Amino acid sequence: MSVVTIKDLAKRLGLSAATVSRALRDSYEISTETKQMVAKLAEELGYIPNPYASSLRRRKSKTIAVVLPEVADSFFSLAINGIESVAKDKGYHVLIYLTHESFEREKAILHQFKSGRVDGILISVSEETSSGGHIKEVIAAGIPVVFFDRICEDVETAKIITDDFESSYKATRHLTAQGCKRIAYLSISPALSISIKRTEGYQQGLADSNIPATESEIILCENDFEANYQMIKDLLKKKNRPDGIIASVEKLTPPVYLVCRDLNLSIPGDIKLISFTNLQSALILDPPLTTITQPAFDMGKSAAVILFKGIEKKNFDLLKQRVTISSELIKRVSA
């Protein structure tokens, strides 16, 4: 099967290629009859507009990009569903790009957007990203950008976040209310916006529970299961080991459970645990996990709605948009 071109349509209809092209673009220069005739034949022959050629002309790719650290995390996979629920109604394609938590890959991905491959960008930055020069360049090139969850404070554009400070504060107070005296906080990046806010919420929670800062411990985890398992094992083998743990990202949950099992420590008897996660399996773990559950789907949806306003409406001030959606502490057995 060969691809049908504008020339093929023109030949069949006895029109010029320019007329067919204008008819397909719904130009005011072309009569309604001609437009209908062209549209009918285009459909019959299965004509598909060449996206490169028509993008050069119209500067619209009908595509948005979602730039994410990873998809093996229930927060991001649910956020994608929220984004796609909006894009589908708008007739837009969604392209997902993964940075795998690498700043270099994030820069390379954003660099190519400057030449106009997509009409808008939703981004949650990598854990290595500490400033947003690469994102500012894309915005300067005229492409709307909306942050969700993990933002760059130094970039002025729409930001959809959750209440990271309050969530972490609530988790810490929940642990101290249950008698925890030494609470460790498992972090992933000292630079990331959400890490900073969550750490501050944790520290404020300790202060308000009259627990001295000397009794706190922040463990900087890595993007590697074995390394995290070992770090947590070292932590829990200490003489003055923590009696409470807050895991700030989902992937830190399995190593905590496994270390406790391997060291014969009971959850919640010896160690109480709260994790940030949206995993459905939280309720069938041994024991069921107390979680901070983020509004993942709603954050994705809200970010997409705002991005499309930025793409479609000239008088919409995308740069000033700020939305905060609350997370929820769901009490189960682990704390």
Residue from 16, 27, 36, 112 touching its own copies (CB under 8 A): that is: 112
Spell out the residues 6+ positions from residue 226 whose beta carbon is closer than 8 angstroms to its own.
Answer: none
138-167 mask for its own copies (x: CB under 8 A)? --xx--------------------------
| Rounded distance between C-alpha atoms, residue 137 and residue 139, angstroms | 5
Nearer to its own copies, 74 or 195 (CB): 74
The tokens for 270 are 């010896």
| Minimum distance of its own copies from residue 299's CB (angstroms) | 16
Binding mask 50-79 for its own copies (x = CB under 8 A): xxxx-xx-------------xxx-x-xxx-
Q: Which residues pair with 328 in a beta bridge?
A: 293
Element (H, E) at 99: none
Per CB under 8 A, does 227 bind its own copies?
A: no
Query: Rounded to whole angstroms, what are the CA distances from 211 to 6, 240, 246, 290, 319?
Result: 73, 15, 16, 22, 40
Total residues in contact with its own copies, by rule CB under 8 A: 54
Angle subtended at Cα 219 by Cα 273 and Cα 228, rounded to the nearest 5 degrees: 80
Residue 81 within binding range of its own copies, rule CB under 8 A = yes
Cβ distance to its own copies smaller for residue 114 or 241: 114
- Closest residue by Cα to residue 322 from 124, 194, 162: 162
CA 270, 274, 277, 280 dihedral sign is positive
Interacting residue with its own copies among 12, 13, 107, 137 (CB under 8 A): 137
Chain positions contacting its own copies, by CB under 8 A: 1, 3, 48-53, 55-56, 70-72, 74, 76-78, 80-81, 84, 88, 93-98, 100, 105, 109, 111-112, 114-117, 137, 140-141, 225, 253-254, 257-258, 261, 279-281, 283-288
